Amino acid sequence: MKFKAAIFDVDGVIIDTAHIHHLAWEEVFKNYGINKFTFRDFKLKIDGMPREMAVKKIIPRAQKADIEKMSSGKQKFFEYFLKKEKVKVFGCTVRLIKKLKKSGYKVGMASSSRNAKPILKKLGIYGLFDADAEGAYVKKGKPFPDIFLRAARRLRVRPGECVVFEDAKAGLVAAKKAGMKSVGVARKRAHELKSADIVIRDMNKVTAGKLKKLFR
């Protein structure tokens, strides 16, 4: 199949709010007896997952009422820290998106966070995308493939014609299950994303030509 579309995860790939998500979860888990939840714990265990799945991952015995309470609390803490912390935009990713669109490729976003859309709108980036998977509302989040399959449908391309940009292990697993090519965006621990078709540290070095080679 030919390369026709690129699908981008948001946090860690387009913007950097991972530290804010971590701070929010850290506060939530403290109330449930987990006094040490490091940023590494966040990245390896729940990064990229919808809130409900994240709660079950860390506290498997959590009941429905607690899951809802913790998910709601996480959102409140996220909004609190978002006002205090700066959101970093990865300009190299934005430039790549613009280049791909200019070359005629479709571009979609696939985030599990309900906060992705409003943040990207505020930053003036949301309008760059041809489709938004609205991943927070799929029944099964990453590592299930639903979010990327939904993105492909909205882009009107076949899964095998897509390449996914991800910085989380759960997202790469989801991309593979969806039958898509994947690029692991590893600005730090590259070995943790070794399941990707290619792993890159510098988005400036990614070109449409390099992506097309993945489909040969």
DSSP string, 75-121: HHHHHHHHHHSPPEE-HHHHHHHHHHHHTT-EEEE--S-TTHHHHHH
Total domains present in the chain: 2
Name the percent of the chain in helix, strand, coil, to the closest 5. 50, 15, 35
What kind and span of H or E run contains 162? Answer: strand 162-166
Q: 11 and 117: one domain?
A: yes
Q: 116 and 9: one domain?
A: yes
Among 33, 60, 84, the domain-final residue is 84
What is the 3-class SS of 167-195, one letter each residue? CCHHHHHHHHHCCCEEEEECCCCHHHHCC
* One-character DSSP codes across 59-80: -TT--HHHHHHHHHHHHHHHHH
Q: 177 and 106: one domain?
A: yes
Q: What is the three-class DSSP state of 138?
A: coil
Question: What residues of the chain score a pLDDT lower than 70?
Answer: 188-190
Q: 63 and 102: one domain?
A: no
Among 58, 84, 110, the domain-final residue is 84
What integer best gives the mean pLDDT of the chain? 93
* Of the candidates 4, 1, 9, 2, the residue with the CA atom closest to the CA atom of residue 164: 9
> What pLDDT is stored for residue 190 in this prediction?
65
Q: 96 and 68: one domain?
A: no
> Peptide bond before 143: cis, by omega within 30 degrees of 0?
yes
Instruction: Kindly report the CATH number assigned to the domain that includes residue 120.
Output: 3.40.50.1000
What is the residue type of 64? K
* Of the candidates 155, 111, 84, 152, the residue with the CA atom closest to the CA atom of residue 15: 111
> What pLDDT is stored for residue 145 in this prediction?
97
Q: 67 and 95: one domain?
A: no
Q: 101 and 205: one domain?
A: yes
Q: 54 and 152: one domain?
A: no
Q: 128 and 196: one domain?
A: yes
| Structure tokens belonging to residue 103 | 């070359």
Q: 203 and 99: one domain?
A: yes
Catalytic residues: 9, 11
DSSP state of 45: I
Task: Decide if 56 contacts 46 (C-beta within 8 A).
Answer: no
Q: How far apart, in whole angstroms, are the C-alpha atoms of residue 14 and residue 140? A: 23
Q: Which residue range forms the structural domain that includes residue 29?
A: 18-84
Q: 110 and 177: one domain?
A: yes
Q: 57 and 117: one domain?
A: no
What kind and span of H or E run contains 27? Answer: helix 18-30
pLDDT digits (tens, 9 = 90+) for 12-31: 899 998 889 999 999 999 98
Among 84, 101, 131, the domain-final residue is 84
| Structure tokens belonging to residue 41 | 């714990």
